[in-house]
Chains A and B, each alone.
Chain A
Amino acid sequence: MSEQTRQEVAPGAPEPVPGRSRRQRVETLFRFQSFFGLVAVFLAAIVLSPRGDDGQILFLTGDNLFNIVRAVSEIGIIAVGLTFVILIGGIDLSVGSVLGLAAVGSAVLLVNDDFGVLVAALLVLLIGLVFGVLQGAAVAVLGVQAFIVTLAGLNIARGLARMWSGGETVQISYGDGAGQAPMLFSLLGERTFGGVVPIPALIFAVVAVAAILFLRYSAYSRHLYAIGGNEKAARLSGVPVNRVKIIAFALSGFCAALAGIVHAGQLNAGSPNDGLAYELDGIAAVVVGGTSLAGGRGSVVGTIAGALLLGILNNILSLNSVNTDMQLLIKGLVIVAAAALQRLRPAA
C-alpha cells in the first residue's frame, strides 16, 4: 500500500520528512488540515474567551474544557462510526434515530424489565449492530443506494423507538428495587479521577483509540480505502467488497447504539425524540475532519479533530452569548470552509 493512499496517521507520529517534493509537503498540510483547524479555533477561543471575576480565562478552566469533551462525546462516537461508512463512499443517515432507539432501549430494559447493566448494554449494542448489518446488506447485496437505505432506516429506527417507549419519555431512577436501574448505570452521568473527567469523555477516548488502532493495524482499512477509491478495481483485485461494506455499516450502527447508551445514562432518561438530527452533526464532524463524502480519503483522527473543533466552536459561541441564529450561521460557514479546503487538495 503506497504512502499516498495511506491516510491514517497516529497523532504524535513524526511527520514525513519534508523536502521530497513540494507536492508531498502540500499533501502533508492537507492531511493535518483538521488538526491545524482545531489548533486555530482553540487559540481563537482563548483570545475571545470572556474573563471571570478574578480575571481567569473562562474557556481554559478545566471544568469548561472537560464540559466540551463531554458535550461532543455522543456526536464524536457517532462520527467515528460514520467515518467507516463515508470512507467507502457511503452515508448513514440512520445514526441519530438509532441513538434514540438505543437510549429508549436502555431505559426500558433497565427500568421496565429490570435487566442488569451489562445484559441491557449488550442487547442494545447488538440491536445497533444488527440494524447496521441489515442496512449494509441492503446496500451491498441488493445494490440500493446508501442514502435511500439509511433514509428508510432513519424512519424505521425512529418508529421502533416510539413503539418501544409507547411514545413517552422513560425516566431512569436508580436503586435496587423493581422499576429502578442499577446504580452502576448512573456512572455515565458522573466524573472520575477526583470528579474531574466525565465518564462519557473517557468512553469517547476509548472508542477513538480503538478505531485508530483498528484502522492502523488491520487489513480491513486497506480494503476500506480501496473500495472508496475505486470500487470496481477493488473488486477485481479480490477485495471482499460486500463483506467490507456490511462491516462498515455494522460499525456505524454499533457506535450509534453505544452513543445512545451514553445518552440515556447521562440524561437519566430515554426519550423517543432523542438524537433528532444528530446524524447531521455527525456528518459535519466527519466533513470538517477532512474526510471526503466521495470516499477513499480521510481518517478517524481527522473526524475526532473535527468533532472537537465543532465542540469548541459551540462552546466559545455560547460563552460569548452569541445568539442561536448567528451560531447556526457560523457553524454552516465553518463546514463550507472545510469542504472548500478539501477541493484545493491535490489529487492523490
Chain B
Amino acid sequence: MRKTTRSAFAAACAVLAVTAAACGTTSENSGAAQPQDPQAACGGPDGQYTIGMSQANLAEPYRVRMDDDIRKAAERVPQFKDVQFADAAKDNAKQVSDVESFLTKQVDLLMISPNEAAPLTDIVRRAYNSGTPVVLLDRKVNGDAFTTYVGVDNEAIGRQAGEYFKNVLFPDGGKILEIKGLSGSTPAHERHDGFMQGIAGSKIEIIGADDGGWERAEGQEKMDALLKAHPDAQAVYSHNDPMAEGAYLAAQAAGKADQLKFVGIDGLPIEAGGIKAVEQGRLQATFLNPTGGEEAVEAAKKILVDCQPTEKHQTLPTELITKENAGEVYARLNQG
C-alpha cells in the first residue's frame, strides 16, 4: 500500500511540474505573419540555393507529376542544384516534421503542398516568420504567412465544366451523374459549387451523386450502384480523371459505355493520365489542372536569384481538352 502511495505521489509531482512549466510558456508562433522583406532572402545570381519541397502524398499521380515538374524546372536554373523532396504520406503530423527537418537543414526556400490547411498553418508561419520564403502549391494554409501561392481556381474549373455540359453536350438538357472527390476536401466542394453555377439556368439535372474519394477503384464501385439506381443517366461529371476512368469501367461492364459520356478533371500529361484517356475515346473531355511545379520554380527564382517581388496569389489557367487538341496539349506539356 505504501508503495502505491509513493507512486501516486510521484505522478502528482510530475503533473504539477508540467502545469508549472506550462504557466511559464510564451506564445511564439501564434499571432500574425511578420511582414517579410522581399529582398532579404535574395542572394543574387552568384549564389547556390537549397530548396525543400514538402509534398502531401505521393499516392496521387498528380502529386508525383508535381514533384517531377519541379525537378525538371529546377534543372534549368543553374543556381538550384539542390532540391530536396519529402513525402508526408497523407499524414499531417509527418508533414510538420518534414518541414521542421527542412528548417533544421536551413533550406533557402520552402515549397509546400499542404495535406490540410489548419494543421500546417503554424509550422508554415514559423518558417515564414524565421525569414524563409514560402511557396504554397495547390492547397493553402490559413492566414497570409506565406510568400506566394500557386494554384488553380477549382471553382472556375467546375464552372467551365458546367458550361461545357450546358453549351456543348446537352443544350436541350439531360440527366447526369456526379462522382465527387473526397467529402470534406476543398477541391471537391469547389468543383461541385462551380459546376452548379455553370449549369445554372439549363435543363440539366443531376439525378445521382456519390463520393468516389478521388480514386479509380472507388469511382468504379460507386458508378456500379449509381447505374443500377439510375439507368436513364446520359453522362457522368467526375471531379477527377481516375474516378471518371473507374466510372467508364463500370459502364463498360454493364454494356453501357458507348451510351454515356464521361467528363473528368486533371488532364495529367502522362501515359496513364486523362489526356490519353480523351485521345483514346474513353473520356469525352477533361479540364487541365496544371500542377504548378514550373511556376513555383519560377517564383523561387524571382525570390532568390532575381531579387524581384512576386505576386501573393498566382492563379493558373485551366484548359478544355477534347479529342481535337489532346495530342497537341500532351506534346506541349511534355516538352523540355
Contacts and interface: CB of A to CB of B under 8 A. Distances in A.
A267 B119 contact: yes
A274 B65 CA distance: 26
B21 A167 contact: no
Interface residues of B, number: 46
B287 to A, nearest CB: 25
Contacts of A166: 184
A266 interface: yes
Given A64-B104, A174-B30, A217 B6 contact: yes
The 7 closest A-B pairs by CB, nearest first: A267-B119, A168-B184, A269-B118, A171-B118, A324-B87, A217-B3, A192-B25
A206 B16 CA distance: 10
A186 B29 CA distance: 10
B24 A276 contact: no
Interface stretch (B92-100, B268-276, B307-315): B92-100
Interface in B92-120: 92-93, 96-98, 100-101, 104-106, 116-119
Nearest to A209: B14
10 contacts: A58-B104, A166-B184, A172-B118, A192-B21, A213-B7, A218-B3, A271-B92, A271-B116, A272-B184, A274-B92
Contact of B93 (A202, A210, A266, A319): A266
Given A50-B105, A315-B101, 14 more contacts: A53-B106, A64-B104, A71-B93, A168-B183, A171-B142, A186-B30, A190-B29, A192-B21, A202-B18, A217-B6, A218-B7, A266-B96, A318-B101, A321-B84
A339 interface: no
Interface string A172-189: 101000000000001101
A2 B87 CA distance: 48
B91 interface: yes
A169 B116 contact: yes
B134 to A, nearest CB: 18
A50 to B, nearest CB: 6
B118 A268 contact: yes
A218 B14 CA distance: 18
A263 interface: yes
A193 B183 CA distance: 41
B90 A273 contact: yes
Interface string B163-207: 000000000000000000001100000000000000000000000
A268 B29 CA distance: 12
Task: Label chain B's interface by main secondary structure.
Answer: helix
A24 interface: no
Contacts of A274: 92-93
A269 B96 CA distance: 13
Interface of B: 3-4, 6-7, 10-11, 14-15, 17-18, 21-22, 24-30, 58, 84-87, 89-93, 96-98, 100-101, 104-106, 116-119, 121-122, 142, 183-184
Interface residues of A, number: 55
A318 B10 contact: no
Contact of B85 (A61, A315, A323): A323
Nearest to A269: B118
A218 B105 contact: no
A214 B30 CA distance: 37
Contacts of A334: none
A167 B183 contact: yes
Contacts of B96: 71, 266-267
A227 B18 CA distance: 34
A331 interface: no
A28 interface: no
A314 interface: yes
A300 to B, nearest CB: 13
Contacts of A58: 104-106
A206 B96 CA distance: 23
A61 B21 contact: no
